[in-house]
Structure 1
Amino acid sequence: MRRKGLTSVILFMLVQISYSHNSTKGYLLDHASRAAVYICEIDSSINAIGQQTSSILELKGTIIERHSGKAIELATVVLKDLNKWDVTNAQGQYSVKHLRPGIYNIAVTCLGYKTIEQEIWVNNDSFVHHFEMEVLSLGLNEVTVTPIQIDDDLTTSYTIENEAIEHAQISNIAELTSLLPGGQTRSNNLIQASGRIAIRSEQGEEDRPSFGTALEIDGIRMSSNGAIVSEIGTEKGVDTRIISPDNIAKVDIMAGIPSVEHGDLTSGLVKITTKQGVEPLSIKLRTNPYQKEVALSKGLKIGNNGGLLNVSYNYTNSVSNIVSPYNSYERNAFTFRHKKVFGANKHKPLIINSTIAGNIGGRNDKEDPDNFKDTYKKYKAFNLRGGIDFNWNPNLHLISELNLMANINYNDNQSEEYDKESSSSGGAAFHGTEEGYFVGEPYVEGQEFSPLQLIDRGHWYQTTYVDSKPVNYDVRLKIQKNHKRKSISSQFKIGGNYSASGNEGKGVYYGNKLYTPTWREYQYKNEPYLHNVALFVEESFKYTSNNKQQIHLTAGLRNDYTLIKNSLYDNVNALSPRFNARYSFINKPRNRGFKKLSIHGGWGQSVKLPSLNMLYIRPSYSQKLAFVPGSLADGSTYYAYYIQPGEVAKNDDLKWQKSRKYEIGIQGQYRNIRFSLCYFNTVTKNSYTESNQFIPFTYYLTTPHQLADVAIPVEHRSYSIDQQGAVTVIDNTGTLPNEELDKKEKRSFKSVSYGDNASPVKRYGLEWVLDFGKIKPLYTSVRLDGTYYYYKHLNHKIEAVSLGDNHLMSDGSHYQYIGYYYGGSGVANGYKTKRLRANANFITHIPRLKLVVTLKVEACLINSKQLLSEMPGGERSFELDIKEGYIPKPDRGSIYEGKNFVGTYPLYYTTFDDMETKISFRETFYWAYENDRTLYNDLSKLVETRNFDYLFLEDALSAYLSANINISKEIGKRFRLSFYARNFLNNMAKIKDKQTNTEVSLLNSSYIPELSYGIGLNIKI
């Protein structure tokens, strides 16, 4: 890319950003004009640099531990501007070469030590700078137990470090979102928690935001794309309960627009980094009335050249009821992570990280005495993941950094349910997959299932298994070139990745073949894998003026190419452009007034690949009674059915789920007060859903009435049915001729499911943080944070709905109509929500006592949900004339005003006799109301109504709050005590529900967590 062309883009974008915000138009235009001057400086600087040769410098030094003075080995030194880095050798020495004169932002990190971040001016051939690192402890002057928002990040992202995780006593990774602005505490117990993460969204929304949230652990992508039918948590995202938080060094949560190197996501990205480095044996014990935990971790150096090995293990047992603690969830999470550094002495380090981790556990209520005798439910949550990562810093002219990673993530999620079943009269189970007429047969041990299996009456136990084994492979390559000259730095990266998702499970099957219910074998492992190849390119450009004002831009493009071999679907190509920018007005830490002030903005698109559950929807089958004569002379039962096989329908119009995001925010620091405000807006298109289509077919029915004139005595009869549906009565004695019974042609339909796309989902909101810093005489800091969130979804698809065989026509025959509704069946076709949540955090840290106490007050000021019924041109539903009626009021008003009973008509309907002709419902229904009461009564069954009158009123709750407290205390260097209490005030107040004008108690509600408490002990040996 030409720098001159990039300069023009920068100038254009800054002017556009300034002009688009009228409230600060003059101020921003002034700074935009300054930016233009700086950009001109960039051009002149580049031209000048191009005409001269600068000295190539070296930054080197030693890193030691403060107080003891011992050298720190394997500490990482990173020049953030260039992403150049080195790892200290056994003498604590580091060296970063091929630098030009200038100011560099440097970060020094090492497990167990407080991170150092400084600005360094490198100005001679061999510049020496030494660092002293402090051992992490509550005795330090600064301890961070809240999320950190990175000031110079181009997009909104938060880092939650180990100290905050330990202080909050997090057991479930999904609970980390409660620490974010406006986050609300939920259950931390594994058996009660959802175990899934949604960023800037809420569970249960149309586009399944937790499915669109990407989760990585040490670079290993935890994908749920391999899920198929009956999978526990299908398309709900990764179950985070299998992950232990005890070995986590930090968690990065990217809520904004991530780099293009990250794909297969639409909601956000969560990156977990586990501990790496030397650390003593740590033993953690935690307990609360519902849960017990034991965690062990150790980091050790293997010989002189064997590298580092970090090992961790976590055992957790969580119960749902302390009175009857039999329904339990168990976690046995383990991690083995090895790190080997090559070339540290030559200061061209190659780091090889290898990881093997996983979990053995799951849920079990086998011993619960409250269950029916001997019955139980349990499922296995087994996970095994492994990866190897090569990270090389060659300090070459064309390559600054090269990263190659390969990993695999395998799950075994077998569920098992043992239930008591019974039948008073016997029956039939359907196993046939071919079209035709079939007669029920008893199961014969050792043989295959018959298409129509007879099941005797009686009592029995049946075990149902769901065997699902999702697997995901991932290989990534990234090459990065970093460059800096004076005040200008740039990072260019290019790379790609290959991923494959599949499922090696058997699917659903049963233990007792004699009583296996209606079921057709469908093995997940027979379905093709989903393959995806992605390429990306990204340029990051930063300019810093002499007075520390800064322009930082990043633009990138990602292309995903999806290939599904041997399937109904064609290859799919999807582009994801992304752009982020930050303009820092002020960066003067020594100022008495404003020390920092910047604005940032971004726009981008991203694509979420489908799960196998969406691509391979299980075939459906229709079975219709063809002939049942009643009990035979020997007491046995004769069943004849017609089976119409379903089929997997390919949707040629199926598109990959895509989100469009943009955000704009401001961050700064005035004296000791830090603040940030960010507006975000997201539209998700083509979210995954399932739709049906109805295909008509005919079959033949022979009723028992046809037997009335048969001459063959009942005791001598047997029956047969051919593939044309003709029933023949046979005289077993051979005395009388066989008689063929009359049959009647019947029309019906089969339902075929297929993967489809839902209508767009819209959401926007504000996030804010106001941190007043520490009040030194009180050792206390105050932090206020919150979020306003708005969500709206309307279904604009026309969906076919059948009432099925449970409804009859006026003449007693099966219901013959199919309704086609705008927005699907139901009175509502969407809803909108509004949430305003605000938190106050009071953090007391007394270094002399090695004590941290946090009090968090969580308030929900607005919590509302309103059902919607809308279509182009107006409201989709209408007020009814009377509660029991189906005709609109003559003078009807809006369904959103006041209490009223409402109804919804389909747009049109079809009949079984002619499913191609679409008949206008409203016009026909009004005519039938006046002229044909039979037709009116039959069509009225397609009218959607509800028997209460407040359906479309806003369901808003009055404000409510809860309070949590956390305490951490270090005793010496080896012991640490922790205590927490959630909703420790045990708020049982009543709040008002505006929709029903009633009061709802917060006691045992889902609005605030129940009163809970726990203690923990951490021992270092």
Structure 2
Amino acid sequence: MRRLFLILILLLPCAVSLAQTYTISGTVVNKRTKTPVEFATVVAVECEQWAVADDKGRFTIKKVPAGKNTISVSCLGFVTDTKTIIISKDLTGYKALLSEDNLSLEGVVVTAKENENSATTSRTMDRTALDHVQMVSLSDIGGLLPGGVTANPSLLSTNRFNLRAGEATEAGNSSFGTAVEVDGVRISNNASFSEIKGASINNIASSNVESVEVISGVPSVEYGDIGAGIVKVNTKKGLAPYLVTMTTNPKTKQFSVSKGFGLGQSRNGVSGGVLNANVEYTRSVKDSRSPYESYNRKQISLNYSNLFNNGMFSETPIRFSFGITGNLGGSDTKADPDLLIGTYEKQKDNTLRANVEMNWLLSKPWITNLEFKGSVVRSNKLSETRNRYSSAAGTVALHGKEEGYFVAEDYSANPDAAAIMIPRGYWYNTMFLDDKPFSYKLTLKGNWAKKFGKVNNKIKLGADWNADANLGKGEHSEDLSNAPTYRTYDYSEIPFMNNLALFAEENVSIPIGKESHLNLIAGLRAENTFIKGSEYGTTTSLSPRFNAKYSVFSAKGRRGKFVQSLAFRASWGVAVKQPSFSILYPQPNYRDIQIFNPPTADDGNAYYAYYIMPATIEYNPDLVWQRNHQGELGMEINLAGTRISLAGYWNKTAKAFSMNKAYEAFTYNYTDQKALQSCTIPVNDRVYSIDRKTGVVTVSDKTGALGPQTITGVTRESLTHHTYAANSGTPINRYGLEWVIDFKRINPINTDIRLDGNYYAYRTVNQDLLAYSPTTIRMTDNTPYKYIGWYVGGNKTNNGSESRTLRMNVTVTTHIPRVRMIISAKLEGSLLKYSRALSETDGGVRTYAVDDDSSYLPSEDPSFMDRRVKTVTYPEYYSSYWDPTPKPFLKDFIWARDNDRELYDNLCKLVERTSFNYAFQKDYLSPFFSANFSVTKEVGDIASISFYANNFFRNMGQVYSTKSQQYISVTGGTLIPAFYYGLTLRLKF
């Protein structure tokens, strides 16, 4: 078998070299004005060869294989022209007529368009659709997806993408796994120390976006560090007139100017390329009645692109582009007169993104294209908070990071003290959180496209290297003398997380008969994550992915037949998500135990002492990267002009990241005021010191009249914990169905009707055995708590949840080309919204019904699901300071009630109770609806105006909750948007 494989490899170049190739040349012209279209991109799709039109619209593609090929011609501001041709000789004089992209054309679409040539679920929203919805934030496109929910635009909250997932409270870090790219630049949140969530998209300028592609199915192996889909943003590139955009709505104002400049030619006739520039200013306020809490986005983007096809590159041209984007912005409440004078909160959202891309058309027998991409992102998310403090007595602030006993000291005496005494009075202090994520990525990819008879074969081989770091200082204060308790944690000292990936993918298209063809895509991505200076070292992961699409009928040649096209597709794949720094290097927690309580002197100061215990982050050798297993089945059919798309999907998150605790016993020395009764030094003359290791307190006389006196304390027993990163052993399952039905157009009134929706289901029950001890509460004898509970799924009353939603939208769009106007009305409906808390364990019970609020033991009927009863949740096992061996909890708990009341009272503190009697009831919300209206009107080629009204009929009704048996306002939460409107004016010149 190996010999046969080697023979095929050796013979392949010979076979390829014998394949007949030809040249395609022609011109690209404006269909209306008949003038050349410069910088139009011409692509021979099947063989992945291309050319760029010159200033006279001329192009040439050499070495194109014989046979059927699709020629796609695209350019900024024009509708893409696609034709299928048969190549059997050199083709000269090919003429592509491009129509200007405006509302005078038939077939304008203002919804998400299916990518019909894709073997997985992928949808694209072009600039016409984005203008119609008046996008302010990228998240506004969510309403264009099947079953999507329209939200009123706002930049005051952090906007993220969360594909094929439900509420943000769901387990599995779903938004963290949704990737976002802008011109190939990954917007990463891996370097975050504060959250495990997807990256914020607030600082992406909406006015510079040309199109957005959402891949919610199984993507190519080219894409890594993902878990649940990818959102690809393409900005404007190409010649374009000046475009001035002004947007207003009650809470947001936006102004932008963009232009695509042609840089002319050199004396030798070499093109200078195109420079696209975009400047945007956006301001969003939380409340228009008091516009002091605001978010600002001030952004400038430059993108240079050119074709090098002269001299040494005359036969092998290179497309080159370089882009840079800078954003200054963030939120600010400094000007709010409702705040205390001198207090404010500010957070920067500054970023600098740069990218370079080169595509080298080699057209060799063994390689078609060679692509290189590089990008770098530097952000500054510095937050600044100034607060006013007051106290009638001196307070102690802790800053020490080392373990041991420390007594409070005056800042003037020891600025580096672990515990600082802040005198009584009032004061201001400003705290900073310096967060500066940094990432870069390099990608090298080779494409090889060849035809073997009628079979099209494409092979993709590549490698990418990406790195994440944080260059910030972490939390710090402008004045340590009166700063509140905090610890420094310098983010910049954390090493880079580097990732090397190799990927290979084969894409084969096989014709079957006259009308059918089969498309098979198989790929493998191998990744190695390197963390220098970390015990995690190098971690390896593999991500296989497979897509198949069988096109039974194609629309070409079947006009007039009932079934005009039919295709089936299937996908399966694995995606691996790298951890965030909050998993690898979470900020240490500190347990500060007050171990000395002296009397207060006349100056209001009491110099307390503390035992500082860092909760160290333990290395977990079993930690692996979170994985998502995705599967999908889909179908597209055209029935007499009605296009139907169905996609059923399943997504299982395995080894989800989590942070767990482990407990251990320790003792410390405690000294109270009773122990000081023997001290003869007057309170106002006392100076306290403490032995860092033993905790023994010594009192000195600052007048020198009396000698030092040692105070005897008592030994206290307690529990402490350390934190470690772990993987959940319980999978998280999500599955659903998406559909889009585009009915045949009603030509007499130029109206399209679309019916889209989705069904989504989620379920997870955490079966991990997790330790928890309420270390902040006391035993019955007022000593530190000494018992540990081992709970199935954690110490909450529920250890899982399930939910199901069914949403249906109807969009009616009327397009009047003669007056260049498009009007759309959309009815969004929720037909099913169900959720329920779960408490389950394999082979046992963790939750029981109780008779009343004072009962801790199960009632005679302990069942609780579907009953309106109060419940208690017990740990599966418990252990103690004295005996770390886990013991069955419920058995000992019942015994202790009758035989050991002290043990019973202490174990009661491990019992978790529900506050209401409906905690485990099924929650069905009655159906609710919202109607939205949008209109866009073009005034010749110089202006266009768009208007929208969300919740146009001002639905302010209520829905009924079967769980609480109460009515809930539909606009009070996130069910439907409140009545809202906006207007956008665009001027071209």
1:220 paired residue number: 185
Q: Which of 684, 689, 703 is the aligned partner of 2:672?
A: 703
Q: Which stretch shows the higher mean deviation, 728-737 or 85-94?
A: 728-737
Cα separation, partners in 2 of 1:452 and 1:506, compared to 1, 3 Å: same
> Aligned partners of 2:590 and 2:684: how far apart in 1?
35
State yes or no: 1:1001 paired with 2:966: no
- The structure-2 alpha-carbon separation of the partners of 1:172 and 1:3, relative to structure 1 and needing over 3 Å to count, comes to farther
Give, in angstroms, the shift of residue 399 of structure 1: 1.3
Q: Distance between the aligned counterparts of 1:375 and 1:52, measured in 2?
A: 74
Residue 871 of structure 1 aligns to a residue in which SS? coil
Are the counterparts in 2 of residues 856 and 965 from structure 1 also a CA contact under 8 Å?
yes
TM-score (norm 1): 0.92
Measured on the aligned residues, the alpha-carbon RMSD in Å equals 2.2
Match of 2:592 in 1: 623
What's 2:410 paired with? 442
Instruction: Report 1:763-782 matches (<5 A).
Output: 763-782=734-753
**Residues 1:382 and 1:524: Cα distance change in structure 2 (over 3 Å):** same
CA distances 1:606-658 after superposition (whole Å, capped 9, x unpaired): 11111112111112222323323313577653323222333221122211111
Q: What is the match of residue 159 of structure 2?
A: 195
Please state if 1:846 is matched with 2:816: yes
**Could you say if the C-alpha distance between residues 699 and 848 of structure 1 is closer, same or farther in structure 2, counting changes exceeding 3 Å?**
same
Q: 2:129 aligns with which of 164, 167, 185?
A: 164
> What amino acid does structure 2 have at the position aligned with 1:770?
I
Alpha-carbon distance between aligned partners in 2 of 1:421 and 1:618, rounded to the nearest angstrom: 26
Distance in 2, matches of 1:708 and 1:341, equals 88
Query: Would the alpha carbon gap of residues 336 and 809 (structure 1) be closer, same or farther in structure 2, given more than 3 Å must change?
Result: same
Give the C-alpha shift of residue 712 in structure 1.
5.6
Gaps of 5+ in 1: 7-42
Give the Cα separation in 2 of the matches to 1:972 and 1:718. Answer: 85
* SS of aligned partner of 2:143: helix
Matches within 5 A, 1:454-493: 454-493=421-460
Q: Is the 8 A contact 1:100 1:486 kept in 2?
A: no
8 Å CA contact 1:102, 1:485 repeated in 2 = no
Quick one: which amino acid aligns to residue 303 of structure 2?
Answer: R
Query: Which deviations, in whole Å up to 9, do the C-alpha atoms of 1:835-868 show, x marking residues without a partner?
Result: 1001001010010010000111100101111001
Q: Say whether the 8 Å CA contact 1:242–1:358 is kept in structure 2.
A: no
Distance 1:373 1:634, change over 3 A: closer
Of residues 585, 589, 612, the one that matches 2:581 is 612
- The CA distance in 1 between the partners of 2:96 and 2:594, in whole Å, is 83
What is the alpha-carbon distance in structure 2 between the residues aligned to residue 982 and residue 734 of structure 1?
A: 78
Deviating more after overlay: 97-106 vs 860-869: 97-106
- How far apart are 1:269 and its partner, in Å? 0.7
Give the whole-Å Cα distance in 1 for the aligned partners of 2:891 and 2:381: 52
How is 1:81-160 mapped onto 2 (pairs within 5 angstroms)?
Answer: 81-126=46-91, 128-160=93-125
Bigger drift between 673-682 and 624-633 goes to 624-633
SS of the counterpart of 1:185? coil
Distance 1:704 1:181, change over 3 A: same
Q: 1:662 aligned to 2:627?
A: no
2:485 to 495, 518, 524: 518
Given that 1:335 and 1:355 are in contact with CA atoms closer than 8 Å, whether structure 2 keeps it comes out as yes
Correspondence list, 1:928-967, <5 A? 928-967=896-935
| Distance in 1, Cα, partners of 2:680 & 2:479 | 42
1:863 aligns with 2:827: no
Q: Does the C-alpha gap of structure 1 residues 51 and 858 become closer, same or farther in structure 2, counting only changes over 3 Å?
A: closer
Given the superposition, is the C-alpha separation of residues 718 and 211 from structure 1 closer, same or farther in structure 2, using an over 3 Å criterion?
closer
C-alpha distance in 1 between matches for 2:509 and 2:380: 46
Alpha-carbon contact 1:429-1:455 (below 8 Å) kept: yes
Shift of the alpha carbon at 1:1015?
0.9
Distance 1:963 1:828, change over 3 A: same
Match of 1:791 in 2: 762
1:717-866 → structure 2 map (5 Å cutoff): 718-722=687-691, 723-730=693-700, 738-758=708-728, 759-805=730-776, 807-866=777-836
Q: Hey, what does 2:290 align to over in structure 1?
A: 324
Secondary structure of residue in 1 paired with 2:636: strand
Report SS of the residue matched to 1:848: helix
2:393–2:605 Cα contact (<8 Å) kept:
no
Change (3 A) 1:985 1:347: farther
CA contact (8 A) 2:301 2:325 kept: yes
Establish whether residue 925 from structure 1 lines up as the match of residue 893 from structure 2.
Answer: yes
Q: Aligned to 1:804, what secondary structure does the other structure show?
A: coil
Distance in 2 between residues matched to 1:405 and 1:197, nearest whole Å: 24
Q: Is the 8 A contact 1:548 1:588 kept in 2?
A: no
2:628 alignment partner AA: S
Equivalent-residue separation in structure 2 for 1:1020 and 1:117 (angstroms) = 27
Which residue identity is paired with 2:381? N
Aligned to 2:621: 652
> 1:17 maps to what in 2?
none
Distance 1:649 1:308 in 2: 53
Correspondence 1:399 to 2:367: yes
Partner of 1:12: none
Q: 1:253 to 1:731 in 2, by over 3 A?
A: closer
Q: Which digits, 9 at most, give the CA deviation of each residue in 1:674-710, with x for residues without a partner? A: 1111100000112222222223221111222223345
Tell me the equivalent position of 2:281.
315
Range that drifts further, 966-975 or 115-124? 115-124
Q: In the aligned structure 1, how far is the partner of 2:843 from the partner of 2:752?
A: 54
CA contact (8 A) 1:251 1:271 kept: yes
Q: Which residue of 2 aligns with 1:642?
A: 611
Q: Partners of 1:562 and 1:598 in 2: how far apart?
A: 39
CA distance in 2: counterparts of 1:714 and 1:667, whole angstroms? 85
- What is the identity, as a one-letter code, of the residue corresponding to 2:721? S
Letter in structure 1 aligned against 2:396:
A
**SS of aligned partner of 1:246:** helix
Number of equivalenced pairs: 973
C-alpha contact (below 8 Å) 2:407/2:688 kept by paired residues: no
Deviates more, 1:165-174 or 1:127-136: 127-136
| Distance change (3 Å), C-alpha of 1:712 and 1:482 | closer
Q: Which amino acid aligns with 2:254?
A: E
What are the Cα deviations for residues 757-805 of structure 1, in whole angstroms up to 9, with x where unaligned? 2332110000001001321001101111000000112222222222123
Amino acid at match of 2:263: I
Deviation at 1:546, TM superposition (A): 4.4
- Deviation track 1:62-117 (CA, whole Å, cap 9, x = no partner) reads 11111321111111111222222111122212222223332112211001111111
- 1:495–1:2 CA distance, 2 compared to 1 (3 A): farther
* AA partner of residue 389 (structure 2): E
**Cα displacement (A) at 1:349:** 2.4
Change (3 A) 1:4 1:860: farther
2:848 is aligned with 1:887: no
1:427 and 2:427 equivalent? no
Q: Give the counterpart letter for 1:418 in structure 2.
A: R
Partners of 2:987 and 2:62 lie apart in 1 by: 41
**Matched residue type, 1:152:** N
Structure 2 CA distance for partners of 1:5 and 1:157, relative to 1, 3 Å:
farther
Contact 2:459 2:507 in 1 (8 A): yes
SS at match of 1:463: strand
1:263-315 Cα offsets, whole Å, 9 max, x none, are 00001111111111111000011111111110110001102121000000111
Where 1:625 maps in the other structure, the secondary structure is strand
Output the CA distance in 2 between the equivalents of 1:731 and 1:461.
Answer: 33
Q: 1:443 Cα shift?
A: 0.6
1:514-569, CA deviations, whole angstroms, 9 ceiling, x for partnerless residues? 21122221110011110000000111101123412001001000001000001232
Q: 1:206: which partner in 2?
A: 171
- 1:163 & 1:110 partners in 2: Cα distance? 15
Q: For 2:610 and 2:181, how far apart are their aligned partners in 1?
A: 51
